[in-house]
Amino acid sequence: MFDYSPLQKPLPYYQQIQQSLKESIFNGVYKPGDRLYEAQIAKLYNISRSPVREAIRGLVIEGLLVMDEKSQISVYKPNLQDVRDIYECRISLESKAVELTAERATEEQMQELEKTLAETAEAIKESKSDSIVACNARFHEQLIQFSGNARLMKLVEDLNGLIYYYRVLNIQGEDRVNTILKGHMDIYQALKDRDPKKAADRLREHTQEDLINLVHIIEHLEE
């Protein structure tokens, strides 16, 4: 008998628009502080305003769009207080995650981390900025996922939109991409050694380096 594959349900319009708008923000098509208009976006995608409104609502929840007291929508503009607050959360959550990952990760999961590092190195070699950012995000997502703590994963997930946005900014700077890769390799080596404390220490050092660079970038943007 012929084996039918299950049909893939297409994503609802609002999810497609939300993802498209998010990519436009990450890629700099929409810049910090830019105003967005429901009617213009609906016209651009040739759809009604209802799914656009839903997509915008989702991005406001993620923090990538901001709604003011007049209900005007604009692209999130990074500020130092937000960055410091979010990185405090990241350091606390991810350092605990890598401790658990050092104890719990399977050999197959360790190989997945190693593969991500190899793909990061290749993306750096080919100067593919989008791939470098994606690999950076994937490595940290794997650290969280392999901890096996679902509650911890949910807490980090709530921050992911802005964290990814910061990662896009954070590859700026002299030799930053190689600094990021080295930080990841140090974390991986501690995980490979099954040393929870060392892994957490390396994660904190790596994230602090990111924070220092990001603060410098935002200070420059505010000048």
Per-residue pLDDT of the chain (223 residues; tens, 9 = 90+): 444 455 456 788 899 999 999 999 998 899 999 999 999 999 999 999 999 999 999 999 999 999 999 899 999 999 999 999 999 999 999 999 999 999 999 999 999 999 999 999 999 999 999 999 999 999 999 999 999 999 999 999 889 999 999 999 999 988 999 999 999 999 999 999 999 999 999 999 999 999 999 999 998 876 6
- pLDDT by residue (tens digit) across 81-128? 999 999 999 999 999 999 999 999 999 999 999 999 999 999 999 999
Give the pLDDT confidence score for residue 38 in this predicted structure.
94
Give the pLDDT confidence score for residue 9 in this predicted structure.
63
Give the pLDDT confidence score for residue 221 in this predicted structure.
75
For residue 175, count other CB atoms closer than 10 A to its CB. 8
Residue 47 shares a structural domain with residue 146: no
Residue 163 shares a structural domain with residue 67: no
Residue 102 shares a structural domain with residue 71: no
In a domain, 183, yes or no: yes
Residue 152 shares a structural domain with residue 88: yes
In a domain, 7, yes or no: no
Say how many domains are in the chain.
2
CATH code assigned at 117: 1.20.120.530
Q: In the numeric block, which tokens belong to residue 109?
A: 């999961």
In a domain, 5, yes or no: no
In a domain, 51, yes or no: yes
Eight-state DSSP code of residue 63: T
Q: How many residues does the chain have?
A: 223
d(CA 120, CA 125) in angstroms, rounded, equals 9
Query: Do residues 207 and 185 make contact, with C-beta atoms less than 8 angstroms apart?
Result: no
Give the pLDDT confidence score for residue 158 in this predicted structure.
87
Number of H helices, E strands in the chain: 10, 3
Give the pLDDT confidence score for residue 206 in this predicted structure.
97
In a domain, 153, yes or no: yes
Residue 35 shares a structural domain with residue 97: no
Query: Do residues 91 and 208 make contact, with C-beta atoms less than 8 angstroms apart?
Result: yes
CATH code assigned at 32: 1.10.10.10
Residue 28 shares a structural domain with residue 130: no
**Where on the phi/psi map is residue 175: left (φ > 0), alpha (ψ -120 to 50), or beta?**
left
Q: Burial of 153 by CB count in 10 Å (0-12 exposed, 13-18 middle, 19+ buried)?
A: middle
Query: Do residues 14 and 52 make contact, with C-beta atoms less than 8 angstroms apart?
Result: yes
Give the pLDDT confidence score for residue 10 in this predicted structure.
78
Eight-state DSSP code of residue 146: T
Give residues with Cβ within 8 angstroms of 34, minimum separation 6: 74, 75
Residue 87 shares a structural domain with residue 182: yes
Range of the domain at 69: 13-75
Residue 21: helix, strand or coil by DSSP? helix
Query: Do residues 78 and 221 make contact, with C-beta atoms less than 8 angstroms apart?
Result: yes
Closest among 75, 93, 79 to 158, alpha carbons compared: 93
d(CA 117, CA 81) in angstroms, rounded, equals 31
In a domain, 6, yes or no: no
